[in-house]
Amino acid sequence: MADQLNQPLLQVSGVTKRFGGFTALDNIDLIVRPCERLVIGPNGSGKSTLVNCIAGTLRNEGGSILFDGRDLGSDPPHGRVRLGLARTFQIPRPFVSMSVLDNLCVPLEYAARQHIKLGKSEIAEAAMHLLEQVGLADKSHALSRGLTQVDMRKLELARAMAAKPKLLISDEAMAGLSASEVDDILVLVSGLQQQGVAVIMIEHVMRAVMKFSERVAVLVAGKKIADGDPQSVVDNDQVIKAYLGE
Amino acid sequence: MKNRTFAALAFATAVAVIAASRLIPNDYFFSAAYTVLQFIILATAWNILGGYTGYVNFGSAAFFATGAYSSVFLYKALHAPLVVMIVTGTLAAGLLGLAVGYLTLRMRGVFFAIATLALAVVLYTFVVNWDYVGGARGAYIIQPRVIPFGLPRYIHLLYSAMVLMTALALVIARAIETSTIGRGLAAIRDDELAAECAGVPTLRLKLFSATVSGALMGMAGTTFPYYLAYIEPSAAFSLSYAVNSIAMPLIGGMMSWVGPVIGAVLLGSVQQIVQVTISSAWNLLIVGVLLVAFVTLAPNGIMGWVDAWRRKRR
Amino acid sequence: MNRLTTWFTTGLIVFSLALVAPALAQQPLKIGFGMSLTGPLAGNGKAALIAMQIWAEDLNAKGGLLGRKVELVYYDDQTNPSTVPSIYNKLLDVDKVDLLVSGYGTNVIAPAMPIVMQRNMAFMGLFGLNVNSKFDYDRYFQIMPAGPEPAIGWTQGFFDIAMGLSPKPQTIALVGADAEYPALALEGARAQVKRTGLKVVYDKTYPPNTVDFSPIVRAIAATNADLVFVASYPPDSAGMVRAANEVGLKARMFGGGLVGPQFAALKTQLGPLLNGIVNYETYVPDVAGKFPFLEQFLAKYQGRAIREGVDPLGFYLPPYAYAMMQVLEQAIKATGGLDQAKLADYMHTYEFDTFVGKVRFAKNGEWAQPRMLTVQYHSVIGNDLEQWMRPGHVTVLYPASYATGTVKAPYQDNKK
């Protein structure tokens, strides 16, 4: 039992990604355990590239990504979602022709159903339940394109949650939000851990970084320069250099 | 309404329409209606890939002609019965859709649209050089002397076949639209990347959509050689099929199965009326004007208007 | 019945008849058809329509047909075959026309056939190529003078004249577009080759959208064929003629089945490039004497054609469109009515006197005797139209009864 808990959920080993002559990721190693909370930030390049490689929307040239013990290889994104690996987008990408509720039905039907028993009639119910969790229940029949910024972020999160993932990667969900809105989102993301979902948050909002994280990893120029508990990372020389310059 | 109920209703309506048409004394109705029904099927078929999935097909004529020319081939080779022609032509066009999709749908964006443009040209050249079906010389398809089901004229049989095929196309379109697959296609249309990341197997669904769309467009062309009696490539590959199959869903609304029907009935009837009233040089002008008007004033078509009005009332 | 009642009843009957009779007499005799008024063949369609309208006016000026005014009911078929079934069904069922004729060309004649056949209508066709060979309809008639075997009739002149050359030619090159008419003409040419024992040194077709004909003509020139027979449509005809001049093609006779030089547009465009070419025509001013009244008609036609921007010469289709209506007119007058069976019978049996001469139909509805004129162009100077309106630029070589001269060979020495 203890073994299982310690078996990494996500194992990124030596991942490298180049765009032409530019190396975006250079030999990245990263481990995420079940139910763990990891923040990647606050500054540095390569964060989104790493998310895309893990999610499968980009192919890494070197290294391997193991999820739940399985080499993801060249699995397309929809395959990875079905295994339980969900992500949100930095700029929300709702399904604009659909209502808020229907937006959630898509991942419920196409991802969650692959590893959870969900009858056709239970889909709408499950979607409503998720909407209640994120506080969008009253807008369930509104068209998703009419939502406010923060509501769109919530929908983005709800949609990722609808896939019933084991690992959720949230890509800068707090960007541009007010302090109270940030708190709202933080509450939601913390709640995920209680449901048994590991979370990777890509964030550059310091408050979130410090309050939320158990562990922080820092990427600078495609290399990981720090990986540990928040306090030690803040004290890390290289991190300080990266932040404040020489 | 469940799909099963809709299907039953659709076919019951089709049978009723066919029965009622026995009372119509003139044949003009049948030939005009044949053309309009042809367009309903084409518009509905196009919309499955174009409206539901968001991939624009500029080469509808290629699929339509596949249906028509496979009928010509079967006529020359086997004098096959009409039903066999319809089924074969539909399958052939579906296979073409699958093949073209497999080659081009793995890339996102405009590649599919460009490929469909080229497809029509490639297929036209192929047919022009295929002597067995007449090539550029054309082929004669003679209507049988004895008409099945005791119908007085062959055009009545063609019309009845078209009514049934239209019902089938609508049933299929609605079934897709309201199913899980339909929601997946809509997700692809709205944001393919987000759909992929929501677990939608986008390539598989796109291929499915292209196959069904192509098949139904081919189905619309299978009885055409009998209607014309003499078919040659430029008739089968006519530009009006490519233009109308896009214009009709655009005008009627691309989000549901109702839109193409409205667009086809509206535009098709207008074209038929113009043909026998004012000079038909106006025909194309009218289509153009309607297209421009709708694209600028009502980009979601007539059904878009209806939906927006319904939403305001809520 | 007393006398008052008798007079009253008689008066009533006479009165009613007097009311009805003018109404009956005023019921126009409707002739329906589709015609290419837009689309690729619109130029010919509009020319034919003018001729048919002139016929209707001429006839109505003389009191109409069977005491009724003649009215043409027509729709634009857009040179698009898919419009034809609807048009002809509407003409019959909604407009309730009394008679049908066809539009111009095989593409729009064939789709009308099933409909006319189902209604047992007599049907006159305007320049369709061997359409009836597939339908075998005994009430179909064709006004094109190609004869009962159109492929043979179309090519007979060229080959007869060629074999009259001294010394006899030995070799021939056959070339044409990959399309309906050229394929048929080339079939005819091959049959003629068999008959005359010529040796074929080149026999190829080119795709319909070819624009560069120099390679083709060069290949033909390399064979040094004595005769070069071409079956082509207007754009290719122009291309072939130009290429022949560029390459300096040498042959004893060149031409045969070029569609295009019959029309004013190509006559003026190519001008002197046509000199020396042997081709087919349906009418030229040099044989005006053989076709009385045609000059009158052409003068009327040409005035209107210029106003409507259509072929200003009108030598090709208009006379035959008019003749087609004359055949119908005479058949209706002779049978005294509109019984389609009687009309068809009459048209199969008798000879007709028309602007294009005497017309008699074979069993399959084509002309009993072909009468395509084989001609040679000469003395064409510049690109003006006027010169073509007068005799002096076309020698008619065949048939003998219309010939105005003999062929001048070889082609390359007679390009003036």
Q: How many CB pairs under 8 A join B and C?
A: 113
Alpha-carbon span A165 to A85, nearest angstrom: 5
User: Which residue's structure tokens are 């070069």?
Assistant: C228
Looking at residue A246, its pLDDT comes to 43
Q: Greatest CA separation found in chain C?
A: 101
In whole angstroms, give the CA distance from residue B266 to residue B260. 10
Task: Please enumerate residues of A whose Cβ is less than 8 A from a Cβ of B.
Answer: 55, 57, 76-79, 81-82, 86-87, 89, 93-98, 102, 105-107, 109-112, 114, 159, 162-163
Neighbours of B12 (CB within 10 A): 11
- In this prediction, residues B292-298 reach a mean pLDDT of 86
| Residue A2: per-residue pLDDT | 47
Over residues B138-143, the mean pLDDT reads 89
What percent of chain A is predicted at pLDDT more than 70? 91
Task: Supply the mean pLDDT for chain C.
Answer: 90
Domain A2-244 sits in which CATH superfamily?
A: P-loop containing nucleotide triphosphate hydrolases (3.40.50.300)
What is the C-alpha to C-alpha distance for residues A227 and C337, in angstroms, rounded to an integer?
105
- Map C19-39 to HEC letters: HHHHHHHHCCEEEEEEECCCC
Chains that touch B (3 or more CB pairs under 8 A): A, C
Q: Residue C240 and residue B186: Cα distance in Å, rounded?
A: 54
Contact C391, C286 (CB under 8 A): yes
Token code pair at residue B100:
């073209």
Give the per-residue pLDDT at A1. 45
Domains and CATH numbers, chain C: 24-144+294-359 (3.40.50.2300), 150-286+372-413 (3.40.50.2300)
Residue C19 pLDDT exceeds 80: no
How far is residue C253's CA from residue A37's CA, in Å, rounded to a whole number? 93
pLDDT over threshold 70, residue B137: yes
Is it the case that residue C152 has pLDDT exceeding 70? yes
SS3 state of residue B197: coil
DSSP code per residue over B261-279: HHHHHHHHHHHHHHHHSS-
Residue B262: pLDDT above 50? Answer: yes
Q: Is the pLDDT of residue A3 over 60?
A: no
The one-character DSSP state at A58 is S
pLDDT at A204 over 90: no
Alpha-carbon dihedral C298, C304, C307, C308, rounded to 10 degrees: -100
**Residue A21 pLDDT > 90, yes or no?**
no
* Chain B: residue whose CA lies nearest to A52: B197
Residue of B nearest to C137 (CA): B142
For residue A17, give the amino acid letter. K
Give whole-number Cα distances, C268 to B30, C265, C364, C386, in Å: 46, 6, 37, 9
Question: Nearest CA to CA, how far is B142 from chain C (Å)?
Answer: 7
Arithmetic mean of pLDDT, C51-63: 94
Cβ A94 vs Cβ A155: under 8 Å: yes
The answer to whether C107 contacts chain B (CB < 8 Å) is yes
pLDDT band at A150 (very low <50, low <70, confident <90, very high): confident
Lowest mean pLDDT among B139-148, B196-205, B284-293, C380-389: B284-293
- Per-residue confidence (pLDDT) for residue C62, from 0 to 100: 92
Measured in angstroms, the CA of B191 and the nearest CA of chain A are apart by 6
What average pLDDT score do residues B9-24 get? 93
Do the Cβ atoms of B241 and B61 come closer than 8 Å? yes
Check CB contact under 8 Å for B190 and A77. Answer: no
Residue C206: list chain B partners with CB under 8 A.
none
Amino acid at C337: G
Indicate if the pLDDT at residue C12 is higher than 60. Answer: yes
Element (H, E) at A26: strand A22-32
User: Average pLDDT in the C61-86 region?
Assistant: 92
* pLDDT bucket at C25, cuts 50 / 70 / 90: low
CA distance A220 to A236: 13
- The mean per-residue pLDDT over the stretch A45-69 comes to 89
Mean pLDDT of B75-95: 95
pLDDT digit string, tens, across residues C274-329: 999 999 999 999 888 888 888 889 989 999 998 988 989 999 999 999 999 999 99
Query: In this predicted model, what pLDDT tens digit does every residue of C209-248 receive, in sequence order?
Result: 789 999 999 999 999 999 999 999 888 999 999 999 999 9
What is the pLDDT at residue A214? 82
For residue C375, the cross-strand partners are C279, C396
Q: Averaged over C6-13, what is the pLDDT?
A: 65
User: What is residue A149's predicted lDDT score, i.e. its pLDDT?
Assistant: 87
Cβ-nearest to B280 among C76, C89, C110: C76
As to burial, measured by CB atoms within 10 angstroms (0-12 exposed, 13-18 middle, 19+ buried), residue C217 is: buried
The pLDDT value given to residue B295: 82
Looking at residue C10, its pLDDT comes to 62
pLDDT tens readout for residues C96-110 = 999 999 999 888 999
Question: Tell me: the pLDDT tens digits for B49-79?
Answer: 999 999 999 999 999 999 999 999 999 999 9
CA distance between the termini of chain C:
91
